[in-house]
Amino acid sequence: MTLLQTHNLSAFYGDFQALFGVDVTIEQGETVAVIGANGAGKTTFLRTVAGALAAAPEAVLFDGKPIGNMTPHEIVRLGIAMVPEGRRLFPSLSVEENLLLGSHSERRGPWSLQRVYELFPRLRELRRLPAPSLSGGQQQMAAVGRALMSNPRLLLCDELSLGLAPVVIRDIYACLGAITAEGTTVVLVEQDINRALDASSRFYCLQEGHLALTAPTKDFDRAALTAAYFGL
């Protein structure tokens, strides 16, 4: 069953066009990577799906329903959550208060404070601390936990690995299995291409706002990916 579909999706910042007619289809339960060079439009793609950037209503279909013109709040309530680039935790709030912010959509499902703390036991120990006192990796866990607290059907992850040590990245990626085991569909945007391809079954490669290549991650032409990535 198709969970997310974009059809001829375009996105603008004022007069600047950042996405050009992007067609993506993501099936329920899949983990899909979106890769591309700096400025290719990866974050813009996630922001249009999450409602932070307006699109034509029919350009984004979630569970068959047009959501392109919905607000971020409405979209979270439908079951789409984003882990934003740079984590964006609220610095004046504790770790636990940040997590609880994610539950405001009041969606029912498997995720609760208890389950998030089981997934990331360190967060339970650190729960009363202000978010900025955590390490980068711990903040990333809190950002993932906050998104899970809305019990999303679709989890959008923007650069989970950015700025983190390899051992920390491995720990965070190791948790993806527990998340997808709940039936959650995941879109991974990554600078670390190999990490993204390892963790997904299919990828889309964007190049200067255009969809340049899509293929299964188990069987694809490396030369075609290099060309699609760098625009050679």
The pair phi, psi for residue 189, each rounded to 5°, is -100, 130
CB of 206 to ligand ATP, least distance (A): 7
> Which residues make Cβ contacts (< 8 Å) with residue 219, sequence separation at least 6?
none
**Complex with ligand ATP: residue 4 or 116, whichever CB lies closer:** 4
CB of 164 to ligand ATP, least distance (A): 15
Structure tokens at 171: 């720990």
CA contacts within 13 A on the Cβ side of 73: 2
Query: Is residue 42 a contact point for ligand ATP (CB under 6 A)?
Result: yes
- Which of ligand ATP, Mg ion, none does 31 bind, CB closer than 5 to 8 A by kind? none
Instruction: Give the residue, chosen from 31, 44, 138, 150, that forms a contact with ligand ATP under the rule CB under 6 A.
Output: 44
> Which of 4, 32, 33, 40 touches ligand ATP by CB under 6 A?
40
Q: Is 15 in the site for ligand ATP (CB under 6 A)?
A: no
What distance in Å separates the CA atoms of residue 98 and residue 130, rounded to the nearest whole number? 9
Q: Which does 150 bind (CB under 5 to 8 A by kind): Mg ion, ligand ATP, none?
A: none
Spatial neighbors of 58 by CB under 8 A, at least 6 apart, are 7, 66, 68
Query: What, of ligand ATP, Mg ion, none, does residue 84 touch, CB below 5 to 8 Å by kind?
Result: none
- Alpha carbon separation from 14 to 45, 51, 69 (Å, rounded): 16, 16, 16
The interface region with ligand ATP, picked from 34-42, 169-177, 210-218, 224-232 by CB under 6 A, is 34-42
**Sole binder of ligand ATP in the list 1, 38, 108, 218 (CB under 6 A):** 38
16 part of the interface to ligand ATP, by CB under 6 A:
yes
DSSP per position, 51-112? TSS---GGGEEETTEE-TT--HHHHHHHTEEEE-TT----TTSBHHHHHHHGGGG---SS--
* Interacting residue ranges for Mg ion, rule: CB under 5 A: 42-43
Binding test (CB under 6 A) with ligand ATP, winner from 5, 6, 43, 98 = 43
Q: Are 103 and 150 in contact (CB under 8 A)?
A: yes
Least distance from C-beta 130 to ligand ATP, angstroms?
27
Nearest to ligand ATP of 181, 232 (CB atom) = 232
CB of 48 to ligand ATP, least distance (A): 10
What gap in Å lies between CA 21 and CA 59, rounded to an integer?
A: 9
* Cβ 20 to Mg ion shortest distance, Å: 17
> Contact positions toward ligand ATP, by CB under 6 A?
13, 16, 18, 36, 38-44
